[in-house]
Amino acid sequence: MRKYWIDNLRWITVLLVLLYHVIYFFNNKGVFGGVGGFGDGPQYQDLLMYILYPWFMPMLFLLAGISARYSLEKHSAKDWIKSRTRKLLVPSTIGLFIFQWMTGFFNTHVGGTDVMADVPQPFKFFVWSVSGTGPLWFVQVLWLMCLILLLIRLFDSKNKFWNWCGKANIVVIILLGVFFWLGEHTLIMNPRPESADGLYNLYKPFFYLIPFLLGYFVFSHDEVQERLGKAWIPLMICAVISGTVLTVLTFGENNTTPEYLGSPLNCLYGWLMTLAMMAWFKSRFDMTGRFASYMTRSSYGIYIVHYLVVASLGYMLKMYTAIPPMAIYLIMIVAVFTLPPLMYEILHRIPFIRWCVLGEKKIKRKQDSDK
């Protein structure tokens, strides 16, 4: 039986990522990337970054871990990794040269000038393509997690460890947040300029491996999900309180630095909100409808293409218009929730392009998503 609450939580989280990127693109908190803020004064809309960043990407990895367990129960490891390679690795490698290079073009102009003005033309396209990776770092890391999972499963071929993890009660589930905190401390606390340290801290492979494996071994159990769902109210209250304290105490700081991410308060809020959102959706949103079904089928493709809208339109509005900031935000929010679905609907109907950019072999239909 399909667990609609997982589908719903996944596409809701994707929509939150889209909204986050609009705010992030114009932040003035020193967060890397984007085109910069509107002056040096407080931008209270940036509060959204403090609310979402600690938990929404760990959530996507955790849900991916749960889904990996379910999928591997129905498919062989060979077929599963073949499917994951097409779905994840193809869009984040080949797709860069077919589609994402356009995002890379705007990424190289975010400072208001062309940082590649002196680069020979033949090399520009390659740099644009690599620079266009953007949010596809998530897809690349997820593919790596899938490979690691296949190796780990060799040591639990009889599911003894998986069965043991299913006994976790609500107290143990909450205490698993210690691994969340330990994961944040695998970051390089003093990244060296002009090195790959910053890239490692962006990808955070060891940190994201933790929620992915917790999803596979712990949260894929029906019993664990039931225990979690029954505690959604106290979990949400605790998450909101810890998130409020975190935001009030740290607003104005760069919330993506290793020191910030590794702070106990950030880790506490991140883990509690991850649990609270899962518990809430398990308890209240285990259902589907026409729109939810569409988003379940399409949210991945929307995620793949959305940042081109953010980078291109955001850059043009900021650099070439005198539109008031709030009007820019409004235009961007409307655009990011309408144009990417349209782009997805066009791209996934074009043979070969849908394989390169979206990892799709054929047009997805409702019955395919329900299998």
**0.85 cut: is pTM over it?**
yes
The CA distance from 341 to 186, in Å, is 36
Token pair listed for 136: 């596809």
Lowest mean pLDDT among 64-78, 122-136, 282-296: 122-136
What local confidence, expressed as pLDDT, does residue 194 receive? 76
Q: How confident is the model at residue 196 (pLDDT cuts 50, 70, 90)?
A: confident
* Nearest of 311, 297, 306, 317 to residue 339 by alpha carbon: 306
The residue that leads in pLDDT, 117 or 192, is 192
Mean pLDDT computed over 110-125: 74
Residue 189: CB atoms within 10 Å: 12
Residue type, 254: N
Per-residue pLDDT of 331-370, as tens digits, reads: 999 999 999 999 999 999 999 999 999 999 876 554 444 4
Q: How confident is the model at residue 114 (pLDDT cuts 50, 70, 90)?
A: low
Is the pLDDT at 299 greater than 80, yes or no?
yes
What local confidence, expressed as pLDDT, does residue 199 receive? 87
High-pLDDT (> 90) share of the chain, %: 85
The rounded radius of gyration (Å) of the Cα atoms in the chain is: 21
- CA 73 centroid distance within chain: 25
High-pLDDT (> 70) share of the chain, %: 96
Find the helix or strand (DSSP H, E) in which 197 lies. helix 197-203
Report which DSSP code applies to 85.
I
